[in-house]
Structure 1
């Protein structure tokens, strides 16, 4: 395994130090099942993480705005006509104050995210480290560290699956560009709104303070998404085992059926375009239940879809259930996944009703016990051949 990024190693070291300094975690039930006590604790942790992120964002924006207000008199009544030397000094003060505030803001956000995510994992009943050095727990801890620090998932191949097989460089660049621009665009829109709503005399004073609510709001949104993702990753490994046991625990599959089950997870990874840790856990669990899988590509969605027609009905059920579970394990089902699932259901001659998939996603995301009936509903009985889609 390649060396982990430095921030990920930092997050893991923090988790380990904190875990060793605290009492052992005792879980009353499976980690993916959130009982009322755990739900209350998780809600409290998530809510205060969002509030703290918003407050530090507002404080950072306030410092930058205050520096600009205090430094403005040095430019005189006509800032554009001020000497270059004064403008350089002015911007040095403004950017210096903003830079220092931003450094403290980012440092606090990273530290608080790591602390909150660690508290969240303990509240969910998930121990991240143990004296026996469990590699699986270390991988879960690494996944949580990446969530806390907003680090991308690894794009390394697992079982020969390339998560970016169906991606183009243009799309990837566009996503990154949009992410970087979001705060700047929000600031621009807020300023445009103020210009239209306020009189000229008030505009200059008001524009300086726009960054305060904008930064607070974005920090709150990001903190909410980070905590939601961390919660899903904490529940993922436990849920992956339970799902795999329900779908594959008592079934004897042909070689083609085993390969289709592995390809179903591979198709999910390709359609989400990332190696989400929950999907990697599920892939390993499916592999554990399907020994001696024959050679063949696992990341070609068209090959997977073509293979469904040649399977017996029971093995189609397995492939469809695995596909649906893989789609919900990251907590969301994107349009590409929904399209793939609809095509798979049609290829197997099944109803394309979306409700079973929605019910499955809701149950997992809300920490409900996994019921066999909810999983099996994702593979409805074959419909008569006369029905048109």
Structure 2
């Protein structure tokens, strides 16, 4: 099967993603390769601490700026409410309030989008993924710029089917619609809505003159929290990408590959595919890992890679050493999107058996390392069973 036919994106690149990715590429063009060389710490224990420290500083700094943006953009509408409420006709007052509110909401969103992209690019410089020559992650248009632009602008990731794997296989249609609705609702509940709710509540209790100003710190805190989450998500994507590179280029050596049977190589892709489905989302980290391993092993295309029961059967069919290798990989894949879903927590013990507690501890530790930029420590956790004996398989 043609590689491009393995990949199907359900929806096109949106306008905001296109604009965000374009701006990110302009930042990358200005930064050049030299920035990444200077900012990338050595990948040892001290490098982990330096990388973690720099990432935290960048994240906190962005949250502080977002706080200031939220506060500053809240002041005009609050001042207008405090100064002119009761002094203008209802029609003129609400028209003016709506106009000022929308103008400064637009300014606020533009500034936050700009801050998010600039901050995400700064984090990318730490991992050397700010460069323009970074190749596409998928056969089509999903590049580092795209996945980081979506993180920076809080855009939903596209539904992608790779090797026929459906990430939302176990999500019911009503639940899927509810998830989409709640996401839109989260976007709609912006600082403007919070501001209106606060002023109306204040009016009911006769506290309008003093309570209006509460909208300023509330909006500021809201923006700071959102920016903090945005940068943390971008960090997870960047560090996940680096770890996927390490696994497929350094951990899976030619010697390891040569001692894996075809059944075990197929099982490796199944381990990642099943976790991609059990996590019940389409996080790009999972897609990157799946793509890297499927290309590394060049497995035959099948229609049931995401079948959990088939994967459990593969664990019984391979040799004991290969089984340990697959369990290690399953453990790593479970951590790659930064959390464990209820379905993963329920199903993983079926594969881990009596070693469940050990593997769950590894998953938790790896999630922590990915979230905090401790790449060297993450690599040590991502050890794959290497005591493989030569085997043949179908």
Is TM-score (shorter-chain normalized) higher than 0.5?
yes
Q: Evaluate the alpha carbon distance shift between residue 246 and residue 311 of structure 1 in structure 2; reply closer, same or farther with a 3 A threshold.
A: farther
1:194-222 Cα distance to aligned partner (Å, 9 max, x none): 87xx9954x23344334322221221111
Distance 1:67 1:371 in 2: 52
Query: Which of 130, 135, 143 pairs up with 1:127?
Result: 130
> What is the Cα deviation at residue 47 of structure 1?
1.1
How many residues are treated as equivalent by the alignment?
361
1:138-149 correspondence to structure 2 within 5 Å: 139-149=143-153
Name the counterpart of 1:325.
332
Q: Evaluate the alpha carbon distance shift between residue 35 and residue 178 of structure 1 in structure 2; reply closer, same or farther with a 3 A threshold.
A: same
Distance 1:293 1:320 in 2: 21
Contact 1:263 1:299 survives alignment (8 Å): yes
Contact 1:31 1:234 survives alignment (8 Å): no
Q: Evaluate the alpha carbon distance shift between residue 45 and residue 352 of structure 1 in structure 2; reply closer, same or farther with a 3 A threshold.
A: closer
Distance 2:368 2:24 in 1: 29
The answer to which of 152-161 and 333-342 deviates more is 333-342
Query: Which of 96, 100, 103 pairs up with 1:97?
Result: 100
Q: Which has the higher contact order (CA 8 A, sep 6+)?
A: 2
SS at match of 1:253: coil
Distance 1:64 1:378 in 2: 61
Distance 2:46 2:345 in 1: 26
1:25-84 Cα distance to aligned partner (Å, 9 max, x none): 214546999544433332222111101111111222222222222221226xxxxxxxxx
Name the counterpart of 2:392.
none
Query: Which of 74, 88, 96 pairs up with 2:87?
Result: 74
> What is the Cα deviation at residue 23 of structure 1?
3.9
Contact 1:278 1:329 survives alignment (8 Å): yes
1:281-360 correspondence to structure 2 within 5 Å: 281-293=288-300, 295-346=302-353, 350-353=355-358, 354-360=360-366
SS at match of 2:302: coil
SS at match of 2:375: coil
The structure having more radius of gyration, on CA atoms, is 1
SS at match of 2:165: coil
Contact 1:255 1:293 survives alignment (8 Å): no
Please, which runs of 5 or more residues in structure 2 have no aligned partner?
Answer: 1-7, 387-394
The answer to which of 108-117 and 318-327 deviates more is 318-327
The answer to which of 62-71 and 288-297 deviates more is 288-297
Name the counterpart of 1:7.
16
1:311-348 Cα distance to aligned partner (Å, 9 max, x none): 332222222222211121222223322223222212xx
1:89-135 Cα distance to aligned partner (Å, 9 max, x none): 221111111111100000100011111111121133333313xx733
Distance 2:316 2:58 in 1: 48
Contact 2:198 2:215 survives alignment (8 Å): no
Q: Evaluate the alpha carbon distance shift between residue 207 and residue 300 of structure 1 in structure 2; reply closer, same or farther with a 3 A threshold.
A: farther
SS at match of 2:363: helix
Matched, 1:39 2:39: no
Query: What RMSD in Å do the two structures reach over aligned CA positions?
Result: 3.4
Name the counterpart of 1:362.
368
The answer to which of 271-280 and 99-108 deviates more is 271-280
Distance 1:270 1:215 in 2: 36
Q: Evaluate the alpha carbon distance shift between residue 274 and residue 333 of structure 1 in structure 2; reply closer, same or farther with a 3 A threshold.
A: same
Distance 1:338 1:244 in 2: 26
Distance 2:112 2:79 in 1: 21
Name the counterpart of 1:153.
157
